[in-house]
Structure 1
Amino acid sequence: MDRVKISIQERTENFAIRIVKAYCQIKNDSHFDDAIMVLAKQLLRSGTSIGANVAEAKYAQSNKDFIHKYSIALKEASESRYWIQLMIKSEIIPVQKMKLMLEEVTNIINILTSIIKKLKAKER
């Protein structure tokens, strides 16, 4: 099966939407306690910030500014992966519910890393 290529902008926006939906689902599930809500809010912040920084990069003032925005997006993606892994390892959320999100954020990290490396190499 052919994999459809989507832009990093669309990929990070889709990821943010999945994060928002997961957060709402967690919030609406009455048996979750304060610990899961703190983790969920952290994931909401970092997971939606990835796409926001990628979107900001579209209007970067320079190549250096563009790299900076993508670097922030990369850091936020790494943080999101951390929160997802923490939720899985602490058994707060079943691994089946977070597995696809974990795979997607790892793909985003790989793509952003590749883009940043290529852009930095061009600067030299």
Structure 2
Amino acid sequence: MNERKYDLEERLIDFVLKVDEVIEKLPKTRMATHITGQLIRCSTSPALNNGEAQAAESQRDFIHKMQIILKELRETKVCLMIINRKKYLKENDVFPALKENEELLAIFAKSVKTAKSKL
């Protein structure tokens, strides 16, 4: 059987694309434009910082970079929740990105906990 290896980097890139689907549907109001800019920055950061974490110089450096990823994922979640609560889009337009965000938060929180236990 030829199984595909689980690739977190690919999953993070796919997450960026899911969030982009939300961003592209947002209206061009002042608030939506502000949230869009913030969402672009915080949702792309985890994929970019993951490469940094993989090249960490020490266990503490790895943990620090993973915590940055968690921080950015939390910020992304809040932006998506604002979009959802403001009802800029239908809930099912935002839900896939929110669901994936929650799963990534769980993965990275567990990774940080595991890495800290190895110190």
Structure 1 segments of 4+ aligned residues over 3 angstroms from their partners: none
Unmatched runs of 5 consecutive residues or more in structure 2: none
1:103 equivalent in structure 2: 99
Residue aligned with 1:6, SS = coil
What TM-score do you get using the length of structure 2 for normalisation?
0.88
Paired residue total: 116
- Mind listing any 5+ residue stretches in structure 1 that lack a counterpart? none
TM-score relative to the length of structure 1: 0.85
Who is 2:77 aligned against? 81
Deviations 1:49-94 (A, max 9, x none): 0111111111111111111111000000000000000100111122
Check conservation: 2:12, 2:46, Cα contact below 8 A: yes
**Does the CA contact (< 8 Å) of 2:22 and 2:93 recur in 1?**
no
- CA drift at 1:6: 2.7
Q: Distance in 2 between matches of 1:15 and 1:58?
A: 18
Q: Is 1:17 matched up with 2:13?
A: no
- In 2, are the aligned partners of 1:8 and 1:108 still within 8 Å (CA)? no
Q: Is the 8 A contact 2:15 2:100 kept in 1?
A: yes
CA distance in structure 1 between the partners assigned to 2:106 and 2:61 by the alignment: 20
Of 85-94 and 73-82, deviating more is 85-94
Which residue number in structure 2 is paired with residue 26 of structure 1? 25
Identify the range of structure 1 (31-40 vs 42-51) with the bigger mean alpha-carbon deviation. Answer: 31-40
Return the letter of the residue paired with 1:12. Answer: L
1:1-124 aligned within 5 A: 6-23=6-23, 25-26=24-25, 31-123=27-119
Identical aligned pairs, as a percentage? 26
